[in-house]
Amino acid sequence: MLSSLRLRHLCTAATTATSTNAVNSTSSMSISKVKSKLRSEFDPDKALQIYSSVSGKDSSLLSTRYLQDLTVRRLAKSQRFADIENLIEAQKKDPKIEQEPFVSTLIRSYGQAGMFDQALRTYEQMGQFGASRTVISFNALLSACTRSKLYGKVPVLFNDVLSKYGVLPDSVSYGILIKSYCEAGMPEKGVERLREMEEKGVEVSAVTYTTLVSAFYKKGKSEEAERLWSEMVQKGCELDVAAYNVKVMHAQSGEPEKVKAIMDEMGSLGLKPDTISYNYLIISYCKSGMMEEAEKVYKSLEEYGCKPNASTFRTLVHYLCKEGEYEKGYKIFKESVRVHKIPEFAILKGLVEGLVAKKKMKEAKGLIRTIKKKYPPNLLNAWKKVEENLGLTSANDSNPEVREDQEAAV
């Protein structure tokens, strides 16, 4: 693990020049290649080194924000909060700190890690930086609050910041506020704010409507959800795939035919269902015990112009294990490894236990060896316990030749 001192050195050096061979090799890559490399790197120290090698480059703010957020997520997953703070605080010495969009990326990154106190402190420091406060940084702060899951604090923050700094909220600000009410289980309060938007002439987007529709569905208030959907349509809001996915999500707990009907409706409007849409169809088939149909949808994703995501693999492995189809689940696991979309610990723990119960020891050992390389350090002890409890440790694990042969089989 990197020490705080070394981390500060890396962050500072990144704005000027890099010195190590590993960093030099990364710094010669294009930003798109760095993104790809960072997405597939789960070791927090290596992810930090990759980020540090390009963070001083003259790249777009959007690219910088993406790379920074990804690195912060890797560190947060390993509970490296002191390292995250050192990483972000070091950037306050950058000349771009006078620019509001740059400060906003720092605020958002703190929110990404659930470090709201640091996000708020950064917002309050903007005067010292010489950066103006507009709705851009205000929205970043609200977003940091919701990402930190402090939903009850968002309405207070909304009112306090507006009165203290005189920022004028826009549709995004209200959208975040309404989302916070919905996440707190109070969509009715969200509707009150929606009416406030209408009174003040602030545009209400389809995103805001569908946030409320989803929340009412989750509360079991389908009539209210459908009423808001109809209101959204009548007002001419542009419906997109994301909006329809809210309806698909509600339908996935029922019969698969209902999900397919909504997806057909999307097609009739010229909207193309995406991976999320098909994931809900897969879930619906799985819940109905129609595993063959679910697998058919999965295998057809590419011809639909979609790619499986982490949720796709998680769903299939989970339900295949429930059906006792551990070998099929293992095949899906291997495909998830290939595209860097590995399911979480609880799902794979069930899979490895099932493989052992079926006497598929080679596959079980191969799975654990693979995830030991891919999971963050804070989860390795948990996997070690699973390995020991299932009797999967052996002398062969310390034999490089045997281990290479076994890994080749995975």
**How far, in Å, are 64, 289, 312, 315 from residue 309 at the CA level?**
24, 22, 5, 10
What tokens does 138 get? 């205000």
Closest CA relative to residue 116, chosen from 157, 71, 80:
157
pLDDT in tens, 368-395: 989 888 776 667 888 888 888 888 875 4
Per-residue pLDDT, averaged over 393-400, amounts to 49
The model's confidence at residue 34, banded by pLDDT at 50, 70 and 90, is confident
Per-residue pLDDT, averaged over 201-230, amounts to 95
**H, E, C per residue of the chain:** CCCHHHHHHHHHHHCCCCCCHHHHHHHCCCHHHHHHHHHCCCCHHHHHHHHHHHCCCCCCHHHHHHHHHHHHHHHHHCCCHHHHHHHHHHHHHCHHHHCHHHHHHHHHHHHHCCCHHHHHHHHHCHHHHCCCCCHHHHHHHHHHHHHCCCCCHHHHHHHHHHHHHCCCCCHHHHHHHHHHHHHCCCHHHHHHHHHHHHHHCCCCCHHHHHHHHHHHHHCCCHHHHHHHHHHHHHCCCCCCHHHHHHHHHHHCCCCHHHHHHHHHHHHHCCCCCCHHHHHHHHHHHHHCCCHHHHHHHHHHCCCCCCCCCHHHHHHHHHHHHHCCCHHHHHHHHHHHHHCCCCCCHHHHHHHHHHHHHCCCHHHHHHHHHHHHHHCCHHHHHHHHHHHHHCCCCCHHHHCHHHHHHHHHHC
Instruction: Estimate the crossing angle of helix 222-234 against helix 206-218, to 10 degrees.
Output: 170
Lowest mean pLDDT among 204-218, 223-237, 272-286, 384-398: 384-398
The angle at the Cα of 129, spanning 126 to 133, to the nearest 5 degrees, equals 35
Whether the per-residue pLDDT at 51 is higher than 60: the answer is yes
pLDDT in tens, 140-184: 999 999 999 999 999 999 999 999 999 999 999 999 999 999 999
Closest CA relative to residue 374, chosen from 1, 36, 42, 38:
42
Per-residue pLDDT, averaged over 265-285, amounts to 96
Whether the per-residue pLDDT at 208 is higher than 60: the answer is yes
Chain centroid to CA 223: how far?
Answer: 31
What tokens does 376 get? 């963050």
Per-residue pLDDT, averaged over 347-357, amounts to 95
CA dist., res. 251 & res. 117, Å (int): 39
Phi first, then psi: give them for residue 33, nearest 5 degrees.
Answer: -70, -35
pLDDT of residue 10: 46
pLDDT in tens, 67-126: 888 889 889 988 899 999 999 999 999 999 999 999 999 999 999 999 999 999 999 999
pLDDT of residue 392: 85
The model's confidence at residue 273, banded by pLDDT at 50, 70 and 90, is very high
58 Ramachandran zone, left/alpha/beta (phi>0; psi -120 to 50): beta
pLDDT of residue 396: 44
The model's confidence at residue 14, banded by pLDDT at 50, 70 and 90, is very low
Whether the per-residue pLDDT at 57 is higher than 60: the answer is no
CA dist., res. 157 & res. 137, Å (int): 13
Share of the chain above pLDDT 70, in %: 85
Supply the mean pLDDT for the chain.
86
pLDDT of residue 288: 94
Closest CA relative to residue 383, chosen from 406, 401, 365:
365
Comparing 43 with 148, the larger pLDDT belongs to 148
- The separation between the first and the last C-alpha atoms of the chain, rounded to the nearest angstrom, is 29
pLDDT of residue 55: 66
**Confidence (pTM):** 0.76
